Amino acid sequence: MNHICLLCHESTPKKLALCDDCEKFLPLAENIQNPGFNKTIILFDYLFPVDKLITRLKFQHQLINANLFGQLLGNKISQLYHNQELPSLLIPVPLHPKRLRERGFNQALEIAKPISKKLHIAIDKKSCYRIRHTSAQSGLSRSDRLKNLVNAFDLKKPLTSNHVALIDDVITTGQTLRELANLLRKNGVEKIDVWCCAKTPRSCLK
């Protein structure tokens, strides 16, 4: 069955909703190891047209974009974890209940679903939760970003897994993921990997 490319809207025989020509022009990110995480996988820089796909996902409810990113991440993870132990649990970065009600869905969870299906790893969407309704990181200065997320997360119950992967759509400074990782380590999680669709280039940070 052919799919329609989400960028050029032409038919493609690929299993992805993205044709070969458009995939070639996506801004690939360098997977540089981030301090505080055991392994980090980031697909793209948050530049055109990736930024457009993510914006349409979050603010125009185009959930097919989450499925695309999840499939691309799943493929990349399979390549980079060759002969390495995969995490035993996926944790999508939680939204505060207020933002979840406004948006109607958690984009990180939607991205995690095709990854879970491909890699046969369970998703835990209930143990971690956000206790503070924080401002969007992208609109803050570096110092305000650090303050914005202090004590933003908590656990409803201890995790049974010692090796987890955190899933998110965009990394700005990484502070959101570091705060969540710190909480998990305090509660006995030993290995924390990060799998993310895109990161904001340093040149775009204030």
Predicted confidence at residue 164, as pLDDT, reads 98
Helix (H) or strand (E) holding 168: strand 163-171
- Class of domain 27-204 (CATH, top level): alpha beta
- The Cβ of residue 118 has, within 10 Å, a number of other Cβ atoms equal to 15
Q: Which helix (H) or strand (E) holds 60?
A: helix 50-60
pLDDT in tens, 63-120: 999 999 999 999 999 999 988 999 999 999 999 999 999 999 999 999 999 999 999 9
Tens digits of residue pLDDT in 159-188: 989 999 999 999 988 889 999 999 999 999
Q: How far apart are CA 53 and CA 59, in angstroms?
A: 10
CA distance 200 to 147: 19
Buried b (16+ CB within 10 A) or exposed e, 37-55: bbbbbbbbbbeeebbebbe
- Entry pTM: 0.91
> CA 90: distance to chain centroid?
11
Q: How far apart are CA 59 and CA 19, in angstroms?
A: 24
Q: Specify burial of residue 122 (Cβ count, 10 A radius: 0-12, 13-18, 19+).
A: exposed
Q: Tell me, what's the pLDDT at 136?
A: 57
The tokens for 57 are 């996902």
Percent of the chain with pLDDT over 70: 88
- Rounded-to-integer distance, Cα 18 and Cα 179, Å: 34
Q: What is the spatial distance between Cα 134 and Cα 91, in angstroms, rounded to a whole number?
A: 19
pLDDT in tens, 21-50: 999 999 999 866 677 899 999 999 999 999
pLDDT of residue 137: 47
